[in-house]
Structure 1
Amino acid sequence: MPLTRFAADAFGVLTICLVALLILLGLLCIAYSFYFRSRIRSQGLVLLSYFSGPWIIRITFILFAIWWGFGEIIRISWLRGEGRLLNGNLKWQETVCKCYIVSNLGFAEPCLFLTLVFLLRAPLQKMESGILSRTWNGKTAACIFLYCLPLFVLQLFLILIGPQLSKNESLHKMQHYFTSTAKKTNDIALCTYPLMSTILHGIFATFLTFYLFWLGRRILKLVINKGLQKRVYTLIISVSSFFPLRVLLLGFSVLSEPEHLQFEALSFSAFLALLCCAGVCICMLVYCPVADSLALGSLHDLEARRIISDDQNDTISLIANQSHLEESAAISPGRNSDTSTKRGSISFRTLEKEGSSRGNFVELSLFSPSRDATPPGSPPLLGWPMRSPAPFHGT
């Protein structure tokens, strides 16, 4: 079934719109990450720096997604018409298609998922040598490029030797869909997906999927929060389903020609699968951790104000209670001790109230610096120290 010009343009315009949304989401998350960093430095929330430790790798993940999106734009045939951006001679258009395969299948997508793996591995590392280390971001970035290099070289090798295989008459029919990166039609070179490049990409996706399952199992053993468990499940399921699905769709695309509806539908579905995967990963790995950390900082400020207000109210209540007890002692000295016992002291009620909220103090103090100094000579406390009841002299 030949593809009409209207259908081709519709797929192209829809691809550009979806990539623009992905870029907008990525830029907003980058700005959010920078705002989080400035908030930590301006307010002195030192312990929240643990959650902002991999901020460079998070931004790198977004940049890889944007790179991949631009590559998908230059693939579409809508830009190759007369008077369009990529209109030119056939040889130049074929070179663009080769660059697209090497750039996306050989660099952007492997780096995208390798970055995802390192971000998921970060909580399993020791704090001193992990994301709290100043060199973690640099070492991780170097490892991502180093691990991606073999796949990039292999994809480049397959693209470069493809034209050489076409000169061999016995291998001409076989290499047509195994190594071809473009098909010429109506003075336009339409990009295709070489089967050898797709197979190599599929091998990488298989190993990555198994490793993510193993990594996710380790993470789930350490996570006790149900919300974080849902996020880990969402990440693992998304990557393990969308990434292999993209490889399968690209593999089936060799069964049809670029000017047919089946090929364009398969190519667009493969693009949509990875777009959804990248969007989910950006939300789960960049936006949600930053939003949670900012919520902890705001919660800390509210809790600190509430503690100060409670201390002032307790002091006023204590003074009023002492005055009342002194007046009672002047009127009926013999009943003073009974009244004190029956009423119970304000210090007991204060201690009870503070004791009921102690869990919140300790939990928040794990993410925020303590605002109370420990008494001289006492060992440092993990969290905000409990306040002892005010001395009572009325008994």
Structure 2
Amino acid sequence: MRKLLYLPPTAAFLPPPLSSPSPSPLLQFPDLTAREGFFFSSVPVAESAFDLATICFIAVLLFLSLLAFSFILYFRLRSRRLIHLENFNSLWTVRLLLVSLISVWAFNEILRLPLVWRNYIYQIVPSITLPQQANICKLQVVLSLGFFEPGFLITLLFLVNVSIKKRKPSRIWALVSLLMICSPITLLQIVFVYFNPLEGKLPRFMHGSSVVGNDFSGEKTVLCTYPFFSCVIFGVFAVAYSMAFLLSCWRVLALVINKGIRNRINVLAVSVMVALSVQIVCLSLSWLWMPEDSAYGFVELAMFLFVTVSMAVAEVILVLRPITDALAVGADLQRRTTEGGAGERFISL
């Protein structure tokens, strides 16, 4: 266990003294001030492997999101011709909001990767400075933990709640609920990331969202991290959300008798609860290592993988499967109406 190093935050981007000796082979960061607040020494790792794995998961998630977008738009056009689908189609904007939040969250995660910065962003904006990169890391933390992921979870909860209601609430109410719940979280993230009043009195890992170091190619760059206070804010939200989400799932299971829909709710509940639990544990462990350490890479990759899987499951269960079921029911009802039959069915999940 190593003692915590503390220096003023303004020293985080100062270059090392010219007279300093050659760095040890175990140290990947020539800037020692960027290491303040972390506990274990660095173990070099090829960051490109973690970055490539993350990009592959993001590509799969974006492809699924594109498919969900296509299903929503097709169903929107189809419902104009089939009267039986109008009731189900009332939630198409909410489902579109869910897929949109997943997509922008995925793009935001791409911008955290050193591989993307090295091969693309530096080519487009070669004059970007280290402090500017650090500000981008702050923005990514605020958007990811303060709006995109909480917004996805709130929208998911809204869809689960309205699935057992006979009358669908206004589509505007979904957006109002999202803004009402996410605004305090986003505001707290902005305060503690940009205007932390205790910044000069606490170790950097508690408020810093980035460190200066070398990427896998040896070039000096800014590596994004998750500040302690941001993790605490998201953790409190995750605990409160988990209780509300489990209560909503229990209410749905108590009313639904269809075995297939019950199985979908169980899978959705398990995926979301496991993802939140793993994310909180990984955020807690990420403070122990530097971003270039192998342990940090595995922790962040595991957190990203579980969150990505929960989002993919949500898209399948709350967007793709309901739309395919509704289209099948609509086609069946249209055939019965043509043959002179009667009756309607409505599938909500």
TM-score (norm 1): 0.71
User: Residue 152 of structure 1 is aligned with which of 179, 182, 186?
Assistant: 186
- Residues 138 and 209 of structure 2 are in contact (CA less than 8 Å); yes or no, is this contact kept in structure 1? yes
Partner of 2:281: 248
Q: Quick check: 1:264 aligned with 2:264? A: no
1 CA distance for matches of 2:71 and 2:302?
Answer: 30
- Residues 86 and 93 of structure 1 are in contact (CA less than 8 Å); yes or no, is this contact kept in structure 2? no
- Residues 75 and 323 of structure 2 are in contact (CA less than 8 Å); yes or no, is this contact kept in structure 1? yes
Kindly provide the CA deviation profile for residues 169-202 of structure 1, in whole angstroms up to 9, marking residues without a partner as x: xx3xxx3211110011143110011111111111
User: Residue 287 of structure 1 is aligned with which of 320, 330, 333?
Assistant: 320
Kindly provide the amino acid, as one letter, of the partner of residue 51 in structure 1. F
Kindly provide the amino acid, as one letter, of the partner of residue 91 in structure 1. P
2 CA distance for matches of 1:67 and 1:195?
Answer: 24
Structure that is richer in helix per residue: 1
Kindly provide the CA deviation profile for residues 299-337 of structure 1, in whole angstroms up to 9, marking residues without a partner as x: 2244456x47xxxxxxxxxxxxxxxxxxxxxxxxxxxxx
- Residues 101 and 193 of structure 1 are in contact (CA less than 8 Å); yes or no, is this contact kept in structure 2? yes
Partner of 2:175: 141
Partner of 2:6: none
Q: How far apart are residue 294 of structure 1 and its match?
A: 0.4
User: Residue 3 of structure 1 is aligned with which of 38, 44, 61?
Assistant: 44
SS in structure 2 opposite 1:293? helix
- Residues 118 and 140 of structure 1 are in contact (CA less than 8 Å); yes or no, is this contact kept in structure 2? yes
Q: How far apart are residue 146 of structure 1 and its match?
A: 1.6
- Residues 257 and 263 of structure 1 are in contact (CA less than 8 Å); yes or no, is this contact kept in structure 2? yes
Q: How far apart are residue 367 of structure 1 and its match?
A: 5.1
With over 3 angstroms needed to count, the CA separation of the structure-2 counterparts of 1:67 and 1:190, relative to structure 1, is: same
SS in structure 2 opposite 1:265? helix
Higher relative contact order (CA 8 A, sep 6+): 2
1 CA distance for matches of 2:118 and 2:248?
Answer: 46
Partner of 1:237: 270
- Residues 210 and 223 of structure 2 are in contact (CA less than 8 Å); yes or no, is this contact kept in structure 1? yes
The 5 Å alignment of 1:89-108 reads 89-108=129-148
Kindly provide the amino acid, as one letter, of the partner of residue 226 in structure 2. Y
1 CA distance for matches of 2:246 and 2:173?
Answer: 24
Kindly provide the CA deviation profile for residues 201-239 of structure 1, in whole angstroms up to 9, marking residues without a partner as x: 111111111111111111111101000000111111111
2 CA distance for matches of 1:73 and 1:95?
Answer: 16
Q: How far apart are residue 3 of structure 1 and its match?
A: 2.7
Partner of 2:35: none
The 5 Å alignment of 1:53-202 reads 53-81=90-118, 83=122, 88-127=128-167, 130-131=168-169, 136-162=170-196, 165-168=198-201, 171=202, 175-186=203-214, 187-202=220-235
- Residues 102 and 152 of structure 2 are in contact (CA less than 8 Å); yes or no, is this contact kept in structure 1? yes
1 CA distance for matches of 2:284 and 2:178?
Answer: 26
1 CA distance for matches of 2:247 and 2:346?
Answer: 29
2 CA distance for matches of 1:280 and 1:197?
Answer: 26
* Structure exhibiting the larger radius of gyration computed from Cα positions: 1
- Residues 206 and 244 of structure 1 are in contact (CA less than 8 Å); yes or no, is this contact kept in structure 2? no
- Residues 43 and 292 of structure 2 are in contact (CA less than 8 Å); yes or no, is this contact kept in structure 1? yes
Partner of 2:70: 31
Partner of 2:3: none
Kindly provide the CA deviation profile for residues 216-272 of structure 1, in whole angstroms up to 9, marking residues without a partner as x: 111111101000000111111111111221121111100011111111111111111
Kindly provide the amino acid, as one letter, of the partner of residue 115 in structure 1. T
Partner of 1:352: none
Unaligned runs of 5+ in 2: 1-41, 215-219
SS in structure 2 opposite 1:124? coil
SS in structure 2 opposite 1:2? coil
SS in structure 2 opposite 1:52? helix
With over 3 angstroms needed to count, the CA separation of the structure-2 counterparts of 1:365 and 1:124, relative to structure 1, is: closer
What is the percentage of aligned positions where both structures have the same residue? 29
Q: Quick check: 1:41 aligned with 2:69? A: no
1 CA distance for matches of 2:328 and 2:95?
Answer: 19
SS in structure 2 opposite 1:259? coil
Unaligned runs of 5+ in 1: 309-360, 369-395
1 CA distance for matches of 2:262 and 2:346?
Answer: 20
- Residues 84 and 333 of structure 2 are in contact (CA less than 8 Å); yes or no, is this contact kept in structure 1? no
Kindly provide the CA deviation profile for residues 146-172 of structure 1, in whole angstroms up to 9, marking residues without a partner as x: 21000000010000134x53433xx3x
2 CA distance for matches of 1:56 and 1:74?
Answer: 27
Kindly provide the amino acid, as one letter, of the partner of residue 190 in structure 1. L
- Residues 75 and 191 of structure 1 are in contact (CA less than 8 Å); yes or no, is this contact kept in structure 2? yes
| RMSD (Å), alpha carbons | 2.0
2 CA distance for matches of 1:271 and 1:54?
Answer: 28
Q: Quick check: 1:16 aligned with 2:55? A: yes
2 CA distance for matches of 1:86 and 1:229?
Answer: 50
2 CA distance for matches of 1:273 and 1:208?
Answer: 17
Q: How many pairs align?
A: 298
1 CA distance for matches of 2:334 and 2:77?
Answer: 17
With over 3 angstroms needed to count, the CA separation of the structure-2 counterparts of 1:158 and 1:298, relative to structure 1, is: same
2 CA distance for matches of 1:48 and 1:230?
Answer: 24
With over 3 angstroms needed to count, the CA separation of the structure-2 counterparts of 1:367 and 1:93, relative to structure 1, is: closer
